[in-house]
Each structure stands twice: as structure tokens, then as C-alpha cells.
Amino acid sequence: MNFSEPNYSVSFAVNSINICDAQGSTNDNRFQDGTPLFNIQLSIFNSPTSHQMLHFSPSCIIIVYEMNSPQKSILLLAEWADPRFYKGVARYAKQANWHLNLDGIYGGRLPTDWEGDGCIHLVQSKEALDFIEMLNVPSPVMGGNAVGEGREAADYFARLGFRHFAFYTTDHSQPMSQSRFRGYKDRLKELGFSATVLDWGKKGSMKKVAWKARKQWLSGRLKQLPKPVAVFCIDDRRALSLVEACMDVDIEIPNEVAVLGVGNMELACECSAVPLSSIRLDFERRGYESAAMLDRILDGEQVTEPLILPYAGIEERRSTYTLAVDDERGRKALRFMLDNFHRPIGVTDIAAAGGLTRWQLSCITKRDLDTTPTKLLEDTRINKACELLRTTNFPIKRAAYETGLGTALRLQRIFRKRFETTPSAWRKAQK
């Protein structure tokens, strides 16, 4: 072995040395009596391509040298860029000592000439799926709860008071689109509502037409919908497009159109003209678990069922930050509440912002949201306090102050009443 420096060394006296290769063959060199005849120093090296294992006994030392199996070559294939997915795959590939081929990420084409051991993918198109099948190498199947995501979107919009709903996709023939819409539609039906499908894919040969024409079509459809309307988009990219279409025809987000995506992609959600609310998907975990599953398959494990990773709630941003009521004065009052809940305001202040009396505001919220202004204000503050506890290291006192609840004691009382726990215990359980 030609290594420049040892990782560590040991000195000892020996009676005999047995040197074994990986197949167990030995060269036996024994001394004539049982006393140590000389001292030696042995340097031990670590290498990415070898293992050296020392086995000690009172009278002999055995050094076993083994070669690892050849380094595996894994193809990474994705139809959209999500750095969280790449990070998860890379984290596992590093510890497994894989070679990752990225031609399917940065090459702008399907790498038809690639040969290797396995494939990890984040694709949906028939062309890409057919290519993966043609490779004839192990490729783990990861899934999500698309139906559950659709149901979550329906429940979320219903809690905000919406009674008009739509679903936006550019290709409703895709299985993911169908599954998310099925969950959305079925849950809305259970709640007594229905949803309009905005499907550019219905245009047939016009499907791949320029974005300008598609945006014009989408703006026209949005103008026709009754307001306020909640639109669930197949993913964050389509949600971003829908925001642009609304802005082109001066449709106000979220008071007229509330927009919810899927994936919680920071590049889309945080950099939109109106920051996008989105259903959280743990893409980093999906990448890591995909790689781990592939490794098990390559080791001979029989994996017959896809690994299903659940969604993780909704990241609420400005695009859905509203409460849907029919009365324009009521919308104005509730917008004031949502924008100023962190201040020391009360129901009288909220009603006055919309030119209403307390009684009038109470009638509106009871009719449209089945709740009271007092509970709405407390709900808003508690939801934001929970968000701060989950996403920051703020002390309990600061979380209470930042959300208009005033004191840590008041926040603790509300948590015990609502969640039967303390803010600190609730935060710990979210980690």
C-alpha cells in the first residue's frame, strides 16, 4: 500500500504474526519460544478503497486487508430543479461512496448513452418514465399523498370562509394532477361545495403555445369566476403563473382570488410579487430516502411497495392571508385585523376600520364564517404565535408580544385551554 502518512500507529511485542488476505489465506511466521524476540511498530491506514481490521490476542496479531466492491454509478434525473431534493440525494450518496451522474440534470436531455447501477428520479412525464424503464436498472418509486394534499387544501380554504373554488393545472391528464384534484373535489363535495377546473391542457394542440397567450386565456377565465374565489394550483410553478395572470387584469390577491400551491419551493413562494402560500413537501427527505431505498435494492433487498412520504401542513403567506366574506365593509374590517393583529387592537377598532358597528361585524362573521370577531382575533394571534414557536427561537414572552397577546402568562393560559399543554412543550413536540 502506498499511502504517505498513517492515521495512527501502535507499538507492541509479538510472538507470531499471521498475515491473512481477504480469502483467509495465511503466511505463518512463528518464533521458537514463547517470549517476545523483538518490538515492532505498525502503522494503520484508512482509505476510501480499503479496510484494515486488527484482531488482537495474547500471542498473535492478524491483519486482514479487504477491497471494497467497485464504486456504484447512479443517474440522477429530474424534470424540475429543487435544491432540497438534490441535497438529500447528495447527502446519502456521499456516505455510500457513490458516483452521481448529473447529465439528466444539467445536460438538457435524457442521457440515452448512460450505463450504470441505478437511477434516482423526480419526473412525471411519460417520456422520462419510459426512458427510466428502458434503462433496466433499479429505480425506487417514491410517492406522496396527493389525494390528502387536495383534501388539506379544501379544508384550509373552507376555514377561511370561501364558498367558491377552482383548481388550476396545465395538464389534467397527469396522474398527480388527477389525484390532487380528486382529493380537493371530493372533500369540497363533503362540505357542500364544488370546484371549477382551469385546465389549459383542454386546448389540445395549443398546449405548448407561448406563455403570453396562455396567460391571456387564464386571466379571462379568472375574471369570469365568482369572487372571492380560492384557487388550488397543482404546484408552485403554476401558482406563480396564476399570480401573474391576476396582476395583468388587476385582480386583487388574496381578497378576490386566494392562491395556494404545492411544494413550498422558496424560489417561487418567496420571490413572487405576492408571496405564495403552499403545502409543505419535505423534498430533502424524499431525496435521501430515495437514495436509501435504492441502496437496499442494490444490496439485494426485495422492495415491492413505494415509499409514501406525507405532506407537512401549509406554509401560509400573503396569497391566502384573508378571510372570505361577501360584505365589502366586512372584508375591509377583517383585512385591518389581519394586518394589525400584533397591535393592541380590539373588536371595536376592527369594526370601525370597515365603517361598521360591533353588532354589524358580529352578524357578518357569524353568517359567513360561523364565528365571532373576538374568536377570529384570538385565532389569528394564536396561529401566528404557533408559527413563531415553530420557526424561531424567540422566548415565549417575545412570541406573545409579537402577536398582540401581550404577556407570556396569557399565551400559556390559551395554550393550556386549546392544546392542553404549554407553549414550551408544544414547541418541543414540533421539532
- Does residue 402 belong to any structural domain of this protein? yes
C-beta of residue 294 within 8 angstroms of C-beta of residue 74: yes
Range from 142-146, 151-155, 222-226, 348-352 carrying the lowest mean pLDDT: 142-146
pLDDT digits (tens, 9 = 90+) for 234-264: 999 999 999 999 999 999 999 899 999 999 9
Domain boundary among 118, 139, 160: 139
Residues 6+ positions from 289 with CB-CB distance below 8 Å? 88, 142, 307, 309
Q: What is the pLDDT of residue 304?
A: 77
Are residues 211 and 261 both part of a single domain? yes
Which residue carries 406563480 as its cell?
Answer: 240
Look at residues 275, 257, 274 and name the one whose alpha carbon lies nearest to residue 266: 275
Query: Would 299 be classed as within a structural domain?
Result: no
Residue 166, domain member (yes or no): yes
293 C-beta neighbours (distance < 10 Å), count: 22
Listed in sequence order, the residues at least 6 apart from 13 whose beta carbon sits closer than 8 Å to its beta carbon are: 36, 38, 39
Count of structural domains, the chain:
4
Query: How far, CA to CA in Å, does 424 sit from each of 313, 315, 396, 419?
Result: 20, 21, 7, 12
Residues 162 and 193 in one domain: yes
One domain for residues 116 and 226: no
Domain-embedded: residue 294: no
Cα–Cα distance for residue pair 92/99, rounded to 1 Å: 11
- β-pair type (16-20, 26-30): antiparallel
Same domain, 189 and 267: yes
Please state, rounded to an integer, the average pLDDT across all residues of the chain: 83
Please classify residue 53 by burial: count the beta carbons closer than 10 Å to its beta carbon, then call 0-12 exposed, 13-18 middle and 19+ buried: exposed
Q: Are residues 368 and 340 in the same domain?
A: yes
Cell 398527480 found at: 176
Indicate the DSSP class of residue 47. Answer: B
Among candidate residues 185, 166, 164, 319, the one with its CA nearest the CA of residue 227: 164
Q: Identify the burial level of 24 via C-beta atoms within 10 angstroms of its C-beta, where 0-12 means exposed, 13-18 middle and 19 or more buried.
A: exposed
Neighbours of 416 (CB within 10 A): 12
Give the residue from 139, 172, 190 where a domain finishes: 139
Among the three residues 100, 123, 139, which one is the final residue of a domain in this structure? 139
Q: Are 75 and 113 in contact (CB under 8 A)?
A: no
Residues 267 and 168 in one domain: yes
Please list the alpha-helical segments (H only) found in 341-407.
Answer: 347-353, 358-369, 373-391, 396-402
- In this prediction, residue 29 has a pLDDT band, given cuts at 50, 70 and 90, of very low
Could you read off the pLDDT of 83-140 as tens digits, one per residue? 899 999 999 999 999 999 998 888 778 888 899 999 999 887 888 889 999 999 999 8
Do 159 and 269 reside in the same domain of the chain? yes
* pLDDT for res 46: 46
Q: Which grid coordinates are listed for 31?
A: 518464533
The enclosing H or E element of 17 equals strand 16-20
Specify the range with the lowest mean pLDDT, choosing from 33-37, 70-74, 298-302, 400-404. Answer: 33-37
Question: Does 199 fall in a domain?
Answer: yes
Domain of residue 113, residue span: 73-139
Say what the pLDDT of residue 310 is.
Answer: 82
Asked, for residue 304, whether it belongs to a domain, the answer is no
Compute and round to an integer the Cα radius of gyration of the chain.
Answer: 31
The DSSP element (H or E) to which 423 belongs, if any, is helix 423-430
Could you report the per-residue pLDDT of 305-358, keeping only the tens digit for each? 777 888 888 999 999 998 888 888 998 999 999 999 999 999 999 999 999 999
CB 162 within 8 A of CB 230: yes
* DSSP for residue 231: E
Q: Which amino acid is at 165?
A: F
Q: Looking at the domain assignment, is residue 284 inside a domain?
A: no
131 within domain boundaries: yes
Same domain? For 160 and 244 the reply is yes
User: Do 124 and 149 reside in the same domain of the chain?
Assistant: no
Confidence of residue 39 (pLDDT cuts 50, 70, 90): very low
No. of helices (H) and no. of strands (E), the chain? 16, 17
Q: Residue by residue, what is the 3-state secondary structure of 263-329?
A: ECCHHHHCCCCCCCEEEECCHHHHHHHHHHHHHHHHCCCCCCCCEEECCCCEECCHHHCCCCCCCHH
Quote the percentage of the chain above a pLDDT of 90: 58
Q: Do 263 and 221 belong together in one domain? A: yes
pLDDT band per the 50, 70, 90 thresholds, residue 366: very high
What is the per-residue pLDDT for 411?
92
Give 257: exposed, middle or buried? Use CB within 10 Å, 0-12, 13-18, 19+: buried
Residues 86 and 202 in one domain: no
